């Protein structure tokens, strides 16, 4: 072995060394086995004696690794350092270095010694490692408008070469501008492994435009072996309230008795949790709510209302509230009892905050506003007064009762169909309902009472000439009227009945017709006498007058017989 080396050294000192121009390069993955080819994997010369692998130390000196004789299958490891256990050679004379680390980034040289020649092929080894992780630390939950906030720190750990980190907002690359965007990069080299850890901190001050778009940020780690994009967000953006808005949560128009809720809306995010409400000169603090309710509002509550931010009273808003109202008061209510003929005036008191309509009804029918200078029975009824305005309605009413002592308006008689009876009809007005009393016994009584008018009918069979009285009475007084009724039997025989006793209509007609015929005959007779007398030149006035008078009387009697 030593002799071989000595021989080799002789070669070297003899200057037969031929170094291949240019250095080869291999890249290996960290932790794996590095395969360093000799002479780019070209087959060795026919007269090969041995191949030796060596490396260049940091100080420039050469370090032996192993030697493989052409004649011998087994290689001889010459290294005495860390490489002693890690190096080997395969049948193509590739140098194999297990468990690659960054310390293996050196130049390894393959020395090919043949009988005639000595060649050296140096190869530089580069060891790559992708970041073991890309993480985001110190992540924020929320951004603030115009206030730089650390969005997060992105860390790409243990890589070779170092990963580079960039930031994007919704896909657009962010560049430090020193104001709204500040990106602070940093790098750490692990002295033991030589691996680099890259980190980058993004500070961002949200703009007005960001409020609408809820930006998504991403940390982009770029490395020759692996790229990784890690997203953050979308973030809510917080900003202070610049103005408030006072809302009146109520049906419109507001009317007395409503529950009116005042709601103070601020434009900030998050919305403030407490407000001041200025209610009729009083300042109320409302916490954990944005509203204040005025229950059962009254007309006195009409006025100006304000709200402001609890932490900045300069930011305020105001609204005026108008409470509408409507009241109706009639001077009459319930049951009103008046006497017929009296005057009655009704006072209507109304108070309303605006235009309103008024409507009167009597028994459900629309009437004008009632005023009575002289009450009649027909004025009685249920009166309702209705006043209305948007969302408001008031109704009041009274029942008018018109009372009066009964008064008989007519008392009549007529023969019933069978001529054996007479029907007497007594009509009276009066309230309350009058009671009827007759001076005769009757067989068939009928009565009606409508709107203060009472009609009472009785059927009698007078055997004699009678004077019948109809008496009406109620608690207020009475009235009585009499009528002469002739005996029904008498009338059978005598056509003429006195005192306006009622007769059949047919008899009246017959009487009138007979009367007219007789009168016509008389006129004819008179005319004849007149002509005769004129011819004779004499005229007897008395005769003619008597005749006329008698006939008139007869006519009258016939008429009275009705």
Measured distance CA(154)–CA(218) in Å, rounded: 9
Asked if 396 interacts with ligand NAG (CB under 6 A), we say no
Judged by CB under 6 A, the residue of 85, 498, 534, 546 near ligand NAG is 498
Judged by CB under 6 A, the residue of 222, 388, 442, 461 near ligand NAG is 222
Tell the smallest beta-carbon distance from residue 44 to ligand NAG (Å).
36
**Interaction residues for ligand NAG, span 269-308 (CB under 6 A):** 289-291, 295
Nearer to ligand NAG, 382 or 464 (CB): 464
Measured distance CA(311)–CA(268) in Å, rounded: 13
Asked if 484 interacts with ligand NAG (CB under 6 A), we say yes
Q: b vs e for 246-268, b when ≥16 Cβ sit within 10 Å of the residue's Cβ? A: beeebeeebbbebebebbbbbeb
Interface pattern 319-338 for ligand NAG (x via CB under 6 A) = ----------x---------
Judged by CB under 6 A, the residue of 18, 57, 214, 359 near ligand NAG is 214
Maximum distance among all Cα pairs of the chain, rounded to whole angstroms: 217
Asked if 482 interacts with ligand NAG (CB under 6 A), we say yes
Judged by CB under 6 A, the residue of 106, 139, 144, 263 near ligand NAG is 263
Asked if 465 interacts with ligand NAG (CB under 6 A), we say yes
Measured distance CA(427)–CA(446) in Å, rounded: 12
Asked if 247 interacts with ligand NAG (CB under 6 A), we say no
Judged by CB under 6 A, the residue of 96, 181, 205, 216 near ligand NAG is 216
Asked if 29 interacts with ligand NAG (CB under 6 A), we say no
Backbone angles phi, psi at 217, to 5 degrees: -100, 155
Measured distance CA(365)–CA(359) in Å, rounded: 10
Q: How remote is the C-alpha of 191 from its chain's centroid?
A: 68
Measured distance CA(21)–CA(25) in Å, rounded: 13
Asked if 388 interacts with ligand NAG (CB under 6 A), we say no
Nearer to ligand NAG, 23 or 289 (CB): 289
Nearer to ligand NAG, 452 or 462 (CB): 462
Measured distance CA(54)–CA(76) in Å, rounded: 12
Q: Which stretch binds ligand NAG (CB under 6 A): 131-139, 362-370, 461-469, 504-512?
A: 461-469
**Is 511 buried (19+), middle (13-18) or exposed (0-12) by CB count in 10 A?**
buried
Backbone angles phi, psi at 218, to 5 degrees: -140, 140
Show the tokens assigned to 410. Answer: 């007519």
Asked if 170 interacts with ligand NAG (CB under 6 A), we say yes
Nearer to ligand NAG, 420 or 467 (CB): 467
Strands 133-137 and 172-173: unpaired
Asked if 172 interacts with ligand NAG (CB under 6 A), we say no
Tell the smallest beta-carbon distance from residue 463 to ligand NAG (Å).
9
Tell the smallest beta-carbon distance from residue 13 to ligand NAG (Å).
49
**Interaction residues for ligand NAG, span 224-243 (CB under 6 A):** 225-227, 234
Helices 505-536 and 541-560 pack at an angle, to 10 degrees, of: 170
Asked if 249 interacts with ligand NAG (CB under 6 A), we say yes
Nearer to ligand NAG, 365 or 441 (CB): 441
- In the three-class reduction of DSSP (H, G, I as helix; E, B as strand; rest coil), residue 348 is classed as strand
Asked if 98 interacts with ligand NAG (CB under 6 A), we say no
Got the DSSP string for 239-298? B----EEEEEES-SS-BTT--EEEEEEE-SBSPPSEEEEEETTEEEEEES-SEEEE-S--
Tell the smallest beta-carbon distance from residue 249 to ligand NAG (Å).
5
Question: What does each C-alpha distance from 452 to 89, 376, 382, 431 come to in angstroms?
Answer: 139, 9, 15, 6
Count of residues that bind ligand NAG according to CB under 6 A: 32
Tell the smallest beta-carbon distance from residue 162 to ligand NAG (Å).
14
Measured distance CA(255)–CA(497) in Å, rounded: 78
Q: List contacts with ligand NAG (CB under 6 A).
A: 170, 213-216, 222, 225-227, 234, 249, 258-259, 261, 263, 289-291, 295, 329, 440-441, 464-465, 467, 482, 484, 486-487, 490, 498-499
């Amino acid at each position: 072995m030593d002799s071989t080396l000595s021989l080799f050294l002789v070669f070297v000192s003899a200057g037969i060394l031929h170094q291949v121009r240019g250095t080869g390069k291999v890249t290996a993955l960290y932790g794996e086995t590095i395969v360093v080819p000799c002479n780019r994997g070209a087959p060795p010369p026919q007269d090969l004696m041995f191949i030796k692998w060596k490396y260049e130390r940091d100080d420039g000196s050469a370090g032996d690794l192993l030697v493989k004789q052409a004649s011998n299958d087994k290689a001889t490891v010459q290294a005495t350092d860390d490489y002693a256990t890690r190096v080997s050679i395969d049948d193509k004379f590739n140098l194999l270095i297990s468990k690659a680390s960054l310390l293996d980034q050196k130049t390894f040289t393959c020395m090919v010694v043949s009988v005639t020649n000595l060649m050296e092929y140096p190869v530089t080894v580069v060891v790559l490692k992708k970041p073991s992780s890309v993480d985001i630390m110190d992540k924020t939950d929320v951004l603030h408008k115009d206030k730089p906030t650390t969005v997060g720190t992105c860390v790409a750990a243990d890589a070779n070469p170092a990963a580079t980190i960039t930031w994007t907002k919704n896909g657009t690359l962010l560049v430090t501008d020193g104001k709204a965007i500040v990106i602070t990069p940093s790098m750490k080299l692990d002295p033991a492994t030589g691996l680099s850890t890259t980190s980058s901190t993004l500070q961002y001050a949200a703009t007005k435009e960001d409020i609408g778009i809820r930006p998504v940020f991403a940390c982009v780690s770029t490395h020759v072996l692996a790229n990784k994009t890690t997203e953050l967000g979308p973030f809510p953006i917080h900003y202070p309230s610049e103005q408030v808005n006072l809302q009146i949560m109520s049906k419109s128009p507001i009317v007395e008795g409503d529950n009116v809720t005042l709601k103070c809306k601020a434009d900030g995010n998050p919305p403030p949790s407490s407000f001041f409400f200025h209610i009729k000169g009083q300042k109320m603090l409302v916490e954990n709510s944005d509203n204040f309710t005025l229950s059962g509002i009254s007309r006195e509550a009409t006025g100006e209302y304000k709200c402001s931010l609890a932490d900045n009273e300069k930011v305020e808003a105001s609204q005026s509230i108008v409470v509408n109202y409507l009241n109706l008061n009639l001077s009459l209510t319930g049951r009103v009892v008046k006497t017929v003929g009296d005057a009655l005036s009704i006072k209507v008191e109304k108070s309303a905050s605006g235009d309103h309509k008024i409507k009167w009804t009597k028994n459900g029918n629309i009437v004008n506003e009632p005023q009575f200078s002289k009450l009649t029975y027909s004025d009685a009824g249920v009166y309702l007064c209705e006043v209305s305005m948007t969302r408001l309605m008031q109704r009041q009413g009274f029942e008018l009762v018109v009372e009066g002592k009964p008064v008989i308006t007519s008392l009549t008689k007529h023969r019933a169909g069978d001529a054996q009876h007479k029907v007497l009809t007594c009509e009276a007005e009066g309230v309350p309902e009058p009671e009827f009393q007759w001076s005769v016994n009757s067989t068939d009584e009928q009565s009606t009472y409508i709107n203060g008018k009472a009609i009472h009918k009785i059927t009698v069979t007078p055997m004699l000439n009678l004077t019948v009285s109809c008496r009406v009475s109620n608690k207020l007084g009475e009235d009585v009227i009499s009528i002469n009724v002739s005996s029904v039997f008498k009338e059978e025989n005598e056509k003429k009945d006195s005192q306006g006793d009622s007769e059949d209509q047919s008899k009246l007609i017959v009487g009138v017709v007979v009367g007219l015929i007789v009168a016509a005959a008389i006129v004819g007779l008179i005319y004849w006498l007149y002509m005769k007398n004129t011819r004779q030149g004499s005229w007897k006035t008395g005769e003619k007058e008597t005749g006329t008078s008698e006939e008139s009387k007869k006519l009258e009697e016939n008429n009275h017989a009705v």
